[in-house]
Structure 1
């Protein structure tokens, strides 16, 4: 199975691993969602060391941010999208012809 960077990063975050995310390949959305700072390339080594020492509270916050995207979330999101594109038919009331 081939995975994209966003999926690999999301899995790492869900496992509680510290990540440094740049605004490339969809990672910017993930970085903002998990409230991580943008990488500072001039001080990347220091930033990596700092992230490696990140407290459990920081990694837990990122994990909780991602955990909201569960099966229910995706079901509701797809249903909302599809209802907007092609709304379900409205039931019609048949009158008696007596």
Structure 2
């Protein structure tokens, strides 16, 4: 095998690998499109159900809110409210109480 053929083989191997990656990417994109279509259909069904229930006079807005799925909120981390700080402050108050008596 000559030195001139090595780069050609490397290019052919890389091209074959690129083609495989493109096929995988196409499959993933198709799945994403299917999921997006499903989400859109579910949103339309939910909206239709909510509109139907709002038209029904027996269902109140409070009842509709009780069926709503809550959106989780991220907890904020604060440096002041750690468990170590709480134990040191309670120890300090116990020490001051013993000195006072």
TM tier relative to shorter chain: under 0.3
Which has the larger share of helix? Answer: 2
TM-score (norm 2): 0.27
Question: Which has more radius of gyration?
Answer: 2
Point out which structure has higher relative CO (alpha carbons under 8 A, 6+ apart): 1
